[in-house]
């Protein structure tokens, strides 16, 4: 579970996005990294089975390249949340300007690995999309999914809120790859999702 400490946060506004004062501690980084590392520690038998099925999964990987990421919301104002902690910046996106209770969706199919109260993140949902990629959706007023549940891209997972360490109704989104926090603006843009222009890739 991502229990986060209350640290000061500064927010850089984009477009017409209102600044959202939203603080999270560095415990989030280590908690997600620990989860990914624990999930990756498989037995020799499991690794052998994985190698035996590699040919089958190659076809699945090829098919996966046609699966696109989706925006979790539409008609939002965008703010890029950057807070200082332990000598480095934390990257995240804050999607604002919509009323409390607005549903937001999973950006891609995956498994819910956390759902419910999560310290400074308030009510949050964490989805594991495979290949070490996880998305974190924070400050929800209500969570619609349960841990262990399989979700599809575009499926509503929670409702916008102002829970946890938050001063405005918004969705705080973070992205981790192999437990390392990424810059979501550039990472998603490389995959056809542009939060600044509110564009998502079409299936090829």
Active site residues: 170
Pseudo-torsion of CA 37, 70, 143, 5, nearest 10°?
Answer: 50
The full DSSP string for 35-101 is HHHHHH---HHHHHHHHHTHHHHHHHHHHHTTPPP--S-SS-EEEEEEEEETTEEEEEEEEESS-TT
Burial 141-162 (b: 16+ CB within 10 A, else e): bebbbeeebebebebebbbbbe
Are 25 and 120 a contacting pair, CB within 8 Å? Answer: yes
CA distance 193 to 185: 8
**82: Cβ contacts below 8 Å, ≥ 6 apart:** 9, 10, 11, 12, 89, 90, 91, 92
Closest of 135, 117, 118 to residue 126, by C-alpha = 135
């Amino acid at each position: 579970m991502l229990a986060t400490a209350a640290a000061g946060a500064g927010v850089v506004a984009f477009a017409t996005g209102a600044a959202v004062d939203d603080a999270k501690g560095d415990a989030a980084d280590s908690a997600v990294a620990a989860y990914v590392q624990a999930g990756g520690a498989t037995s020799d038998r499991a690794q052998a089975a994985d190698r035996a099925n590699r040919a089958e999964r190659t076809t699945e990987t090829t098919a996966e390249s046609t699966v696109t990421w989706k925006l979790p919301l539409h008609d939002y104002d965008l703010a890029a949340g950057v807070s200082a902690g332990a000598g480095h910046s934390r990257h995240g996106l804050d999607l604002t300007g919509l009323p409390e209770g607005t549903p937001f969706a999973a950006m891609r199919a995956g498994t819910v690995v956390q759902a419910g109260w999560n310290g400074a993140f308030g009510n949050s949902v964490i989805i594991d999309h495979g290949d070490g990629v996880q998305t974190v959706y924070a400050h929800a007023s209500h969570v619609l999914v349960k841990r262990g549940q399989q979700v599809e891209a575009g499926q509503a997972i929670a409702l916008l809120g102002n829970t946890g360490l938050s001063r405005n109704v918004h969705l705080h989104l973070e992205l981790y790859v192999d437990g390392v926090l990424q810059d979501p603006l550039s990472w998603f843009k490389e995959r056809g999702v542009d939060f600044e222009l509110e564009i998502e890739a079409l299936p090829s």
